Amino acid sequence: MKRNEELNIRWAELVKKLNLRFDQDFELDGILFMIGLQELNQFERKLNKDQKMDVMHIAVCTLLAPYGYYKFIGRDEEGWPHFEATDTLPHLKPMQQHSLIKEAILEYLQEFGTEKQE
């Protein structure tokens, strides 16, 4: 089976599990937001539009850190995590970007046991 086909199958299974678990219709952005909230660890906090975008950025940095593109440098006085770029992201076509992020999400959630649970 081709790598991309395998990724798509694993991704579909993950989305199905998340949809069932949270009774939501998750797509990529919703999953990124969920990961960003997990990393921010301030679930009670009301977020404005800019802060919601920052939460998505936290997710992307967290997901790409194991690939060597970002490094966690700490939290600010309000508890927001901060990262620094450690490597230039390669120029990828949109489908390649989606595949990289999906792969990173699958790895992240597998690490925390989410993908394995029924």
Domain boundaries, the chain: 3-111
Amino acid occupying residue 43: F
93 SS3 class: coil
Digit-coded pLDDT (tens) for 6-51: 999 999 999 999 999 989 898 999 999 999 999 999 888 899 999 9
CA torsion angle for 46, 32, 26, 94 (degrees, to 10)?
140
Q: How far is CA 110 from CA 14, 19, 83, 92, 104, in A?
A: 10, 16, 22, 25, 10
Examine the pLDDT at 118 and tell me if it is beyond 50.
Answer: no
Residue 93: pLDDT over 60: yes
- The pTM score is 0.85
- Residue 10 corresponds to which amino acid? R
Choose among 20, 22, 104: nearest CA to 60: 104
Rounded to whole angstroms, the Cα distance separating 43 from 72 reads: 20
**DSSP class of 94:** H
